[in-house]
Amino acid sequence: MPTTSSLRGANKCADRLNHVALLGSALLVYAVLADATFLHPVTAPATPQAVRGSEISKRMDEASKLFRQCKWTQTITVYSSVLTASPTNVRARVNRGICYCRINQFNKAISDFNIAIKDDPNSDRAYQHRGYAFYKLGKFQNTIADASKAIKLNSSNRYAFRDRAQAYARLGQFDLAQKDFSEQQKLNRIAHEYYVALDLQHIGKFSDALALFEKNQKENPGMFNPNFRRATIYTKLGMYQEAVDVSTQFIKEHPDTFEGRRLRAINYLQLGELAKARADADKALDIDPHALDPYYVKARASVYAKNYPEAIKNYSQIIKLAPSTELPARMERADAYTAIGDYAKAVSDYDFLVNAEPDDETVYHHRAAVFTKMGSLEKAIADLQTFAKLAPKDPLAFMSLGDGLYQDRRYTEAVAAYTKAIELDPAAPTLLNLRARALEKCNHLEAAQRDRARAKLLQESE
């Protein structure tokens, strides 16, 4: 909203009130006469430009957080570091220019917007924000020129309509101002519905969100990315074919989109269409070679095809890009190493995971399986004991511990572990048969017979 000082500035234009009243909207009068010291909130694009390295990506995320906190000077510092490493990063350049506008350094802002336009002549954001900076400097014809260019590039840029309307009003061209403000109000309504749909999506009201996104797509397909949002919801609902269909529409609208390719690849993978999943993942990586999700798609597609060396190659690329944070990739790579019998490398990955996440019981379970294959039963049992300690209510933990103890011929201890598993899941015939087997080794034949009889009854009742 305009500030109190901007409303005081409106009083200087009292002689125009009669003209403005003809525009027929109290809201319009307010907007035209206000000094417009505000700058519209900037929402980052759904798909950021490809960055050169994970460090730049981290800095961009840091800058976005600072921006949302209105810490303009700190945000400028971070964007400046990004531009030092990547001078043609248009998103960083435009956003830094916006920050300069927020602290009223309009000439510096214009300089940034000039460079952004040179690097990307199709950036409607750069034109729109430069037009706003010109407006603040009283250069209304420049504002009209830049806003017009932004609208030509993106007819849904409602802020460009706002800026041009205000410039027209300052120049006394109220008919043109009325026309632009009307278009802005129409786009604002569509934007409001889009953000309502986002809120509905976030709180899990997917059907209502889908209906609004579909309406948004029909009314103004170029303003936001409703098809991308629809595809995201379909993915969450497990409606993978519908997600593929809508993602395909989104890709037709935005052929160079990373997000569209990434999302469709994920859904092709869910449908078992592995070749298509890999193809989309490769195209996504052509756009952003430092993204992680496409490598996950390629790796998992290779696992499904039992091409473990190729899976390991892709998991290794993920780990190279994010060595300390992408623990799922290391876990899955360890499993792939296990599948091809490279137990030493598997154990090395599991060791890393144990150090990184010492309370993750799954790692101990998987590492125990490898130790068992290597014949290191003592190490396997130690891991399984940790598994049971970390997951005291999981019957699988005690069943696995029982299996390890049984293989090590520690039959009495195996019986105790199986008994604990049965207490947690008394209707599982498998557990009863396993305990019966261990009881027989302890020469407790009657108890074993009772377990087998009970297991048979449970199996027959299933």
pLDDT at 18 over 70: no
Query: Can you tell me the distance from the alpha carbon of 327 to that of 73, in angstroms, rounded to the nearest whole number?
Result: 35
Render the burial of 184-204: b for 16+ CB within 10 Å, e for the rest: bbebeebbebbeebeebbeee
For the chain, the domains span: 4-179
At residue 204, the pLDDT reads: 85
Among 19-23, 317-321, 363-367, 434-438, the least confident range: 19-23
In sequence order, which ranges of 15-157 are alpha helices (DSSP H)?
17-21, 26-33, 54-68, 72-85, 90-102, 106-119, 124-136, 140-153
Query: Can you tell me the distance from the alpha carbon of 96 to that of 79, in angstroms, rounded to the nearest whole number?
Result: 6
At residue 195, the pLDDT reads: 77
- SS3 call for 289: coil
User: What digits encode the pLDDT tens for the residues 177-220?
Assistant: 999 999 888 888 877 877 788 788 788 888 888 888 878 777 76
- SS3 call for 306: coil
Helix and strand counts by DSSP (H, E) for the chain? 26, 0
At residue 54, the pLDDT reads: 61
Average pLDDT over residues 22-26: 29
pTM of the model: 0.62
Average pLDDT over residues 127-142: 96
Residue 55 — pLDDT band, cuts 50, 70, 90?
Answer: confident
In sequence order, which ranges of 137-173 are alpha helices (DSSP H)?
140-153, 158-170
Residue at token pair 């976030």:
202
104 compared with 24, residue with greater pLDDT:
104
CATH architecture under which domain 4-179 falls: Alpha Horseshoe (1.25)
Q: What is the dihedral of CA 258, 264, 266, 267, to 10 degrees?
A: 170
Residue 53 — pLDDT band, cuts 50, 70, 90?
Answer: low
Find, among 136, 133, 137, 135, the residue nearest to 168 by Cα: 135
Return all residues near 285 (Cβ < 8 A) that are at least 6 apart: 291, 294, 295
